[in-house]
Amino acid sequence: MRKILSPRVRGYRQDFLKIAQVYPVPYLTGGSESSCVVFNLDTMEAPPVTMMPVTGGTINMMEYLLQGSVLDHSLESLIHRLRGLCDNMEPETFLDHEMVFLLKGQQASPFVLRARRSMDRAGAPWHLRYLGQPEMGDKNRHALVRNCVDIATSENLTDFLMEMGFRMDHEFVAKGHLFRKGIMKIMVYKIFRILVPGNTDSTEALSLSYLVELSVVAPAGQDVVSDDMKNFAEQLKPLVHLEKIDPKRLM
């Protein structure tokens, strides 16, 4: 696969991938990757291996993703462009705190869940997210695809996860801008390292650039959305080059 990394992108990506690395699905032995594993929270046991794909609802959703990055000084022009391209609404900023939890089982690869909360909006629910193994796909699909399960939860999520045997692997603060165009979500944000664990007040920027993510959450098999994403990404050139980036290659 052809992939060109401009030098200004490369440094950021490696940093980012330490955090945004997505681990493969455990408990999935030999099944197709596209089928979804439901983690049974009630029984606190490893769910039975299921070969049947779960259909319907919010379970069998896929996240289509394109990524890129811009340097700090060109953020403003990118924001300007996005405001022109995206749906006509007031630009929103966000400030989120994300914690990544691991559950180590017998298998070599641990089970990862991401808990995220908004730091600037009071009353917003916490967000628990499971992300599956990313698939690069072929040339016809223009975006990275991974399984995803999104659940809104109450704020005592961390205690609950700890009780279940998860332990926190790392945490970070993401701060940036949020846009949408139809079902596409565009996040332009910077990742901050948390200096003192648990204290989100003292943070330090991880790099001198902003991460740009274009994502769509759609039911599985709707690869058509990746065409729209590609068209949109084309319109953002040359401010930012959004590409499907295989995290495995950067490990």
- 61 vs 250, beta carbon nearer other proteins: 61
Closest among 133, 159, 156, 154 to 145, alpha carbons compared: 133
- 15 vs 213, beta carbon nearer other proteins: 213
Do residues 147 and 79 make contact, with C-beta atoms less than 8 angstroms apart? Answer: no
CA of residue 178 relative to chain centroid, distance: 14
Residue that has been written with the tokens 């139809």 in this structure: 182
Binding site for other proteins (CB under 8 A): 58, 87-89, 92, 94, 96, 98, 114, 116-118, 120-121, 123-127, 129, 150-154, 174, 176, 178, 180, 183, 185, 187, 189, 217
Task: Provide the strand spans (E) within the chain.
Answer: 61-71, 92-103, 111-118, 126-131, 144-153, 167-181, 184-194, 203-205, 209-219
| Alpha carbon distance 251, 249 (integer Å) | 6
- 51 vs 85, beta carbon nearer other proteins: 85
**What is the residue type of 101?**
F
CB count, 10 Å around CB of 177?
20
| Alpha carbon distance 130, 58 (integer Å) | 12
Do residues 82 and 186 make contact, with C-beta atoms less than 8 angstroms apart? Answer: yes
CA of residue 114 relative to chain centroid, distance: 9
Min separation Cβ 14 and other proteins, Å: 21
Q: What are phi and psi of 6, to 5 degrees?
A: -75, 150
Closest among 200, 231, 239 to 97, alpha carbons compared: 200
Radius of gyration of the chain from its Cα atoms, rounded to whole angstroms: 18
